[in-house]
Structure 1
Amino acid sequence: MIVELISTGSELLLGDTINTNAAWLAREFNRLGYSVTHQTTIGDNSQRMCDSFITAAGRADIVVSTGGLGPTQGDITRDSLAIAVGSELVKNEMARCEVEEFFKKRKREVPPASEREMMALPDSTILHNSCGVAPGIAYYDEATETTFILLPGPPAEMKAVYTETVVPYLQQHFGNQGVVLSERYAVYGYRELVLENMFMDLVKSQSNPTIAFLIKNGYIELRITAHGESKTAAELLLAPWKKYIEERIPTDRRRSLTDNIEETVAKALLVRQGTVATAESCTAGLVGKRLTNLPGSSAYFMGGILSYSNDVKARLLEVPEEMLVEYGAVSEQVAKAMAEGTRRSVGTTYGISTTGIAGPGGGTAEKPVGLVWFGVSGPNGTRAFRNDFIGNRESIRQSAAEYALHCLLVYMQEERK
């Protein structure tokens, strides 16, 4: 079945609030086998909201809106839907009980304005809101054969209503829609077009499963998605495509996105009872931050040195000054020396380093903006890795921090060979 999501609120259009609701709902509906084909964002304007409901009803089986169910004059989602379907709002007994119960538990009188939250279209189903005042509303419009589901805007309330009430409603009225299952991989060291060409046969033949390439900081996300009647059926569809990915992309260029990279690195270090220290130049602490994102990271992360200047590289990491002069700070040789220096200084199993040109200035023909060298030092010696990132200063730095952790993983994986 086709779903359209409508997000309401001028704050979304102004950029004051990030629309996390749409992303969350899209994932949840797709997980249940529904196809989210359109997303619309509109401000607090009754005519535009009404037009959006009418347009959505012409192309979707289920229209889900978030926001505009509160007690203020600006909360106009109910009113706009009533106009769109040619109906009117009436006080709903179940909605009245929901609102009154909320204030009763808090030993407060119901404010007169909250009577707006008791209104609904005739024959609506009221969706319990365990986290807030305004209940959600489900309404089936016979004229358009469309089900409208109105959810509150605050994310915690929206998620509670969806999880506790909407999902059972969907199962009761629409039954099993099958299962949508995705396998996601982080692929390192390839440009998007190169990766697409490697899988052009799948790109051209895709139907079910489908394949997509998404640019992320430091890697390309390769995602294959299948829709089956059950989880087992979807897994059977994905199996040959997973094999293609494993055959075409070397192990040291990919990892499953089942876990994030911080979790994967942490597991690898803990299994080895290993410790790590950082030496960061262009990333200025971002690698250390990533390594300490998880609780308990003190078991493996010992510390780091922010060696932004050549002077600090020489004094604290003992990078030879003649090396800095001959090869420059952004070089294979210096990256290795930095990794060795921090490992030696902090006394850890592994040392990792970053040195590069984040821009926007400072690049040359030989060393362009985006060039970053990485060093990893450990029991099996020292290795250097290179990558050339594109983007602005922030995206280059974030990409470099991601890639540094990937380099550490590759080094540890090769220890077993």
Structure 2
Amino acid sequence: MRIATLSIGDELISGEVVDTNAGRIATLLLEQGLRVRRHVTVGDDEAAIIDALNDLAPKCDALIVTGGLGPTVDDVTALAAAHATGRELLVNEEAGKHVRAFLAARGRFAGEPPSDKQAMIPAHSSLIPNPNGTACGFRLSHHGCLVFFLPGVPAEMDAMVRETVLPVLVEQVEERRYVLCSFLNVFGLSEPETDTLLHGVTDLCPGLQMSVCVTFPWVRVTLRAEAETEGAARACLAEGTALVGQRLGEYVFSEGEVSLDEAVAALFRQQGLTLALAESCTGGLIAKRITDVGGSSAYFLEGVVTYSNAAKERLLGVPSALLMEKGAVSAEVAAAMASGVRSAANSDLGLAVTGIAGPEGGTPDKPVGTVYISLAGPGGCRTERFLFGGGRGEIRTLTAWTALDWLWRHLGDKAKP
């Protein structure tokens, strides 16, 4: 089945809002063995919408349109659909009742009824219910193409695709293919390095596809197995996933939608260990990442941001002589910070970072991007120097990710038999 998507909105083509609907629709369709072949974005312009409908419909079996069904003057999608298909734009009584009931239930109007604009759809269209918003969608045929018009609000669109659009499309498919996906999340390898290590993986079985995508600062490997039966697709995917895991080894920190933060949290909960943090160049970013995960109070005792030398001395017990001799950005000071925060918090582990995030402060010996990370535990203290590239934000992000990766690897090693 040839399927396309059309996103409508001035905010999309101006870059003010990122179009997440197109990706979400593609994902929902792929789960049912259906693929989006083309995607187009236009603004809230009637002529542009009509051109897009007339261009896409003759080339597609189905077209999913999102956006421009709201109550404001710039919402012209329904009008454009009517003009493109030679239909009248009429008030749909069922849609009008839905708008009034939805708003009344939320106390959105009293006395003065809402405008009928969102209840106006092209004649001879089928209504698509909207359980999460005011604007119902509608469905019609244009040049032999089944066209679905949906609101642009992601939560509304998502429910309407799952509950109405997908069942209609699946029913149209005579020979359904099964497509299953798996995702492996990688940190510590570049995109080219990951791709090189995975050369030949897709030769395992027919219908296996792989993509390697950077989502800074980590890399996601996506595997898709397509087959005539669900069992065949599942077997192919399992074989491919196992081989990717074998090739990438310790660089895979999780599968699916599990973040590095969540992977670290799971290991802390399993092992019953505690953590304290001392951050300088990251300014509390690591602590935020850790506490973004619910239940972190069970293992995260405290964190301090010690930007100044005085704070490092007062809160962590770093000797002033050491700071004067080696400098705040040094292996020795990082180790003292990690040991100091561990001692102050009486935690199992103490993690510290200190560095130069820029854009100023670098020297020939310690250029911008120089970072020291130190992890103190019962067995001693491990400290390493890194030189990260990029701007201030990228350096801070890479520091936080590397520190969390250290925790993940340390805890993972302890869990091994």
TM range (shorter): 0.7 to 0.9
Alpha-carbon shift at residue 128 of structure 1 (Å): 0.6
The whole-number CA distance in structure 2 between the counterparts of 1:334 and 1:208 is 54
Partner of 2:338: 339
Matched with 1:185 is 184
Aligned position for 2:115: 113
Could you say what secondary structure the match of 1:377 adopts? strand
TM superposition shift of 1:23: 3.2
Distance 1:225 1:408, change over 3 A: same
The answer to whether the 8 Å contact 2:178/2:230 transfers is yes
Question: Structure 1 residues 59, 309: CA separation in 2 closer, same or farther (over 3 Å shift)?
Answer: farther
- Please give the per-residue CA displacement for 1:127-154, whole angstroms capped at 9, x wherever unaligned: 111222221112222x2x3111111122
2:313 and 2:320 in contact (8 A); partners too: yes
Q: Which amino acid aligns with 1:246?
A: G
Distance 1:163 1:261, change over 3 A: same
SS in 2 for 1:259: coil
2:63 is matched with: 63
Counterpart CA distance in 2 for 1:132 and 1:188 is 40
The aligned runs of 1:225-304 (5 Å cut-off) are 225-251=224-250, 254-304=253-303
State the distance in 2 between where 1:359 and 1:382 align. 27
The Cα of 1:407 is off from its aligned counterpart by: 0.9
Distance, in Å, in 1 between the alignment partners of 2:213 and 2:201 is: 16
Three-state SS of the structure 2 residue aligned to 1:250 is helix
CA contact (8 A) 2:254 2:263 kept: no
Cα distance in structure 1, aligned partners of 2:146 and 2:101: 27
What is the alpha-carbon distance in structure 2 between the residues aligned to residue 365 and residue 198 of structure 1? 35
Instruction: Output the CA distance in 1 between the equivalents of 2:2 and 2:321.
Output: 65
Paired residues for 1:18-417 under 5 Å: 18-99=18-99, 101-102=101-102, 111=113, 113-114=115-116, 116-141=117-142, 143=143, 145-174=144-173, 177-202=176-201, 208-251=207-250, 254-325=253-324, 327-364=326-363, 366-417=365-416
Q: CA separation of 1:306/1:87 partners in 2, compared to 1, >3 Å: closer, same or farther? A: same
Instruction: Give, as a single letter, the amino acid of the residue that structure 2 aligns with 1:167.
Output: L
| Alignment deviations for residues 362-383 of structure 1 (CA, whole Å, 9 cap, x no partner) | 3455544334332222233322
AA aligned opposite 2:128: L
- The alignment covers a number of residue pairs equal to 414
Contact 1:335 1:355 in 2 (8 A): yes
In terms of mean alpha carbon deviation, does 318-327 or 394-403 score higher? 318-327
Amino acid in the other structure paired with 1:113: S
Who is 1:12 aligned against? 12
Shift of 1:252: 5.2
Partners of 2:206 and 2:398 lie apart in 1 by: 32
Cα deviation digits, residues 89-134 of structure 1 (max 9, x gap): 34445434534554675686684731x3333334322111122222
Moved more, 76-85 or 245-254: 245-254
The farther-off stretch of 311-320 and 393-402 is 311-320
Q: Over the residues paired in the alignment, what is the CA RMSD in angstroms?
A: 2.9
Distance in structure 1 (CA, Å) of the matches to 2:378 and 2:70 = 61
Q: Partners in 1 of 2:26 and 2:364 — Cα distance? A: 44
> Cα gap change, 1:293/1:254 in structure 2, threshold over 3 Å: closer, same or farther?
closer
Deviates more, 1:351-360 or 1:278-287: 351-360
Identity of aligned residues (%): 35
Which is worse superposed, 170-179 or 78-87?
170-179
Distance 1:277 1:110, change over 3 A: same
> Is there any run of 5+ residues in structure 1 with no aligned partner, and where?
none
Tell me the TM-score normalized by structure 2.
0.87
Q: How far did residue 308 of structure 1 move? A: 1.8
8 Å Cα contact 1:218/1:400 also seen in 2:
no
Aligned letter for 2:24?
Answer: W
The alpha-carbon distance between structure 1 residues 322 and 197, as it changes in their structure 2 partners (threshold 3 A), is: farther
- Deviation, 1:206, is 9.8
- The whole-number CA distance in structure 2 between the counterparts of 1:155 and 1:58 is 27
Asked if structure 1 preserves the Cα contact closer than 8 Å seen for 2:318 and 2:337, the reply is: yes
Q: Secondary structure at the match of 1:197?
A: helix
Single out whichever of 7-16 and 400-409 deviates more from structure 2.
7-16
| 1:278 Cα deviation from its structure 2 partner | 0.7
The SS at the match of 2:200 is helix
TM-score by length of 1: 0.87
Using the alignment, how far apart are the partners of 1:189 and 1:382 within structure 2? 22
Deviates more, 1:101-110 or 1:333-342: 101-110
Residue ranges of structure 2 left out of the alignment (5+ in a row): none
1:309-341 CA-to-partner distances (Å, cap 9, x unmatched) read: 333233322334454455543344433332222
Q: CA separation in 1, counterparts of 2:207 and 2:130?
A: 37
